[in-house]
Structure 1
C-alpha cells in the first residue's frame, strides 16, 4: 500500500538535516580512514631534483665530447706552438750517445805466428777470347767455355752416325756429315757450350730450320750446327750469346728429312766436318 503524497495522512519525509549530517559525518570519517590506511606522500623532492639535474648532465657530457674532439683533431705542434716555454720537437733526431770502445785481441806469449808464403800462390790471367768475323754479325768476341753438354736429353738414341752411308732419300748424300739423334719430336734442343749464335734461320735449304753457334773450346774455334728443327721453335737470334744447355729450338723434321730427329754437325775454323758424337763423348766423359 503506497502512502499518500498530500494531506495530513501523508507520510512524513525523513528530515534533511539528518541526511546531511550523516553525509557530513561519514565523509570525514572515511577520509580519515583512508588517510590512516595509505599515507599520502607529503613531498616529492626527488622528482623535481631529477628533472633539474638532467640538463646539467647533458651539458657536462656534451662539453666532454667536444673537448675530446678538439684534443684528437688538433696536431701536437699546434698546441706546443702556443707554449711559452721552449720545448724540443718530437720530430727532432735523437743524438746517438753510444760510444764504442776499441776492440783488442790478446795473444798468448807461447803462440807462434807463421807468415804466409806468398810464393805458394799464383795469379793466372784469363785466356784471351777468340775474335771471329761473321758476315751477318761482324766481329765476334768469343770467351772460352768451361762447360760442355749433350744437345738433347736422350742422347743415347741415335739413328745415323758420322761417315759413309746409303742415301736415305732422294737428294740425300751418301756421306753423313753429322750425327742424328732421335729423342722424339718436340724435344728441346740445347747449345752444347757457351758461345755466340752466328746463324738462325727457318730457310736453311736441306737443313731446314737451322742454328749455328760458335764456341771457344780450349782456345780453338768450334762451330756446332743444329738442323731439321720445328718451324716457329727458334729461341735465339743471330748475334745472341748463349750458355751451355740453353734451349735454342725443338726437334722437328724440316728440310730434307725422313722423320723427326736432330742433325748435329760440328766443324773447326777450316770448315771440315768431324764426328760430333765422338768429340762430345771425349769432352763430356
Structure 2
C-alpha cells in the first residue's frame, strides 16, 4: 500500500496581523504628540508670566528717554526727589504764636526789644558829654577818695523807702571819681532804678568793698566791665537817669553784702 504523505501548513490569519500592526503604529504616533503638547503648555505658561513684565519694563517702541517727570506722571503716588535737594532749616521764630499766653509773651518780648532799641538809639545819637576842662583824677592821695568833690549832702540810707545810698547833689555834668581802686563789675546805660550806673569791687587792706554809682548822664561812662580803675579815676558824670528826681550821684558802699552809710565811711577813710 502506497505511503501517503499529508502536509499541513499553518497560515496566520490576515486580520489578526493587520490589527497588531495598526496598534504598534498608533502607539508610535501618540508618544511624540503627547510630548509636543506638554512642551507647548509649558511654553504658554512661561510666556504668560514673562511677557507682561517684559512689556512694562521695555515700554512702547516709540517711548522717549525716562525722566523724573515721566516717572512721576506714570506713578502719581511716587515721589521723585533730586539728590541735591536739602531741607531748609527752620527755627521757632518762623512759627506764629497762636495761644493767648504765647501772644502776650511775644508782645512783651517785642515791647522790651523796642525799649532797648530806643535806649540804644538815644545813646548812639547823642555824643559823649565833653570832659574838657575836668580833672581826670580826684584830689587827694589816700586809698579812698570822695566820688564827688563839690556837692550838697542829700538823703542817706535808711529812709524807710529802700534807699540804700547817699545822695550827693551836684549839677548835671559834674565829674564822678572812683572812690577806691578795683575792678569794674557792672557798667551799663540802664541797671534798674540806678539808671546809668557803674559798680566797682575793691580790696582795701584785705576787706572786699563794693561801691556803686547811680543816675549818671547817658553816654558818660568812662569804664566797662572788667576794667581796672585807680582811686580817684574819672569814671562818669552826674546825671538824672533811672529813679531820680533831680541831678545827683547816688553813692552806695557795701561790705560783705551789707549796706553801710557812705557819709561816715568816707569821712573816716577818704584822704
TM-score range, shorter chain: 0.3 to 0.5
Greater relative CO (CA pairs within 8 A, separation 6+): 2
TM-score by length of 1: 0.44
More helix by share: 2
TM-score by length of 2: 0.46
Q: Which has the larger radius of gyration?
A: 1
